[in-house]
Amino acid sequence: MIEIGTGKKVHGWVHIRRDHGKIIFIDLRTADGLLQCVITPQFSDAHAIGSTLRSEWVVEIEGDIKERPERMKNAEQALGHIEMEVHMITVINESLTPPFDIDSDGALINEELRLQYRYLDLRRERMRNNLRHRDAVISYFRNYLHNQGFIEIETPLLSKSTPEGARDYLVPNRKEPGTFYALPQSPQQYKQLLMVAGVEKYFQFAKCLRDEDTRADRQPEFTQLDIEMSFIDREAVMQLIEGMMTTMVQQYYPDAVMQTPWPRITYSEAMEKYQSDKPDIRKDKNNLHELGFVWIIDCPLFETAMVDGHYAPSHHMFTMPKTEDIPLLDTRPGEARSYQYDLALNGYEVLGGSIRIHDPKLQARIFDLIGFSDEEKKYFSHMLRAFDYGVPPHGGAALGMDRLLAVLQRESSIREVIPFPKTGEGYDPMMDTPASVAPEQLRELGISIKKSSA
């Protein structure tokens, strides 16, 4: 933090230059906020350089940091109580004229242009504030879980393609042409294997990658807070999440209106009352400070529509059926409910979780109901093998950090809280990707491109 004193040096970008006759004012954008710098003719070299400065030039300024007169203080700015009397200016780098205004919130600027020059877009105060809050919330969750005895463990990004619903992003293996890694849709299987390993309390902020259509609340890659615990039940997981989230909101969003404890409604009640499994329960949807957290419980184990005489998992294939509904698997599987619990916030699903199956025979039964062939079951042979070596009861949750932060920051799209997002079509204008690669790279991987005739 910039402090009052003589002979201080500060660095940053010229935000605005204002000439008031002989006196020049520079608003310098620093890591701590905007600092007003006053340049007078008394320091002639600094004054001469100051008259040439333009927006977005990178400079080093030396001088005295003073308290502003009381009537000149700006309570809305972090550094609004101080100013700098400039003695010397060093221009580190000049800048071209930016392609758009950085002083506004950017809401009226073409989004693809903003993403093309994302490094400039991130200089605006709204975006810097989103990044700061993202860091604060992630840090809070990390410290909270550590204090609860959790261990942060990273799982691989190069994994195995398994049939889990969404398309995988495939990575060709140069050393054995025709074989592929897959980028993980989630760490689901790894975190369950960590429970088999006896970790008991795990978490990580995981990158998840899914080749599916994008929209305002979805990206090809996104971040989730991934949690798993052993020897617990549904209530323990929900209490952990609710306690962690409630105290975070109270600390970082104290002006938010939030009902506590969070309401709980069954899936069937949500569909009957709200016609949605992620209902918006706010009483006044025009009140931007209201946060309507609601748990959705007793979800169906399978989706209602059958495909080829088989069932599709409502959550995922490792979700535990409710104990009293296990007999239904032999008679009316479509009516079975599960120990799945989802968290909705203002009409968005921000968390999904469940108690997992820990009985190998029950897991095999679910695979049969899904319609997995013996060949498809081989994709999960590592899981079934591990379950033969003593697996504890376990469960967990995945909290979508991007969706959560978008709601908390009152943004209409998760792209506003992701540092370097893709467009709605999955394109990155800044890096101009996805893009073609050199023919020699394809030859090395044993890959040929077949162009569509359409």
pLDDT value of residue 222: 94
Cα R_g (the chain), whole angstroms: 27
* Nearest Cα to Cα of residue 105 among 416, 407, 413, 401: 416
Q: How is 377-403 classified by DSSP, letter by letter?
A: HGGGHHHHHHHTT----EEEEEEEHHH
Confidence of residue 227 (pLDDT cuts 50, 70, 90): very high
Domains of the chain are 5-93 (2.40.50.140), 119-416 (3.30.930.10)
How far apart CA 136 and CA 191 sit, in angstroms, is 25
User: In terms of C-beta density within 10 A (0-12 exposed, 13-18 middle, 19 or more buried), how is residue 179 classed?
Assistant: exposed
User: Tens digit of pLDDT for each residue in 58-87?
Assistant: 999 999 999 998 888 998 888 899 999 999
User: Tens digit of pLDDT for each residue in 343-388?
Assistant: 999 999 999 999 999 998 999 899 889 888 888 888 888 988 999 9
Lowest mean pLDDT among 160-174, 197-211, 252-266, 402-416: 160-174
At residue 164, does pLDDT exceed 70?
no
How far apart CA 358 and CA 228 sit, in angstroms, is 13
How far apart CA 11 and CA 3 sit, in angstroms, is 14
At residue 316, does pLDDT exceed 60?
yes
Region 427-448: mean pLDDT is: 92
Rounded to two decimals, what is the model's pTM?
A: 0.92
The CA-based diameter of the chain, rounded to the nearest angstrom, is 91
Confidence of residue 305 (pLDDT cuts 50, 70, 90): low
At residue 20, does pLDDT exceed 80?
yes
CA dihedral 412, 413, 416, 417 (to 10 degrees): 110
At residue 306, does pLDDT exceed 90?
no
Q: Which residue has the higher pLDDT, 38 or 218?
A: 38
At residue 53, does pLDDT exceed 80?
yes
pLDDT value of residue 379: 83
pLDDT value of residue 264: 97
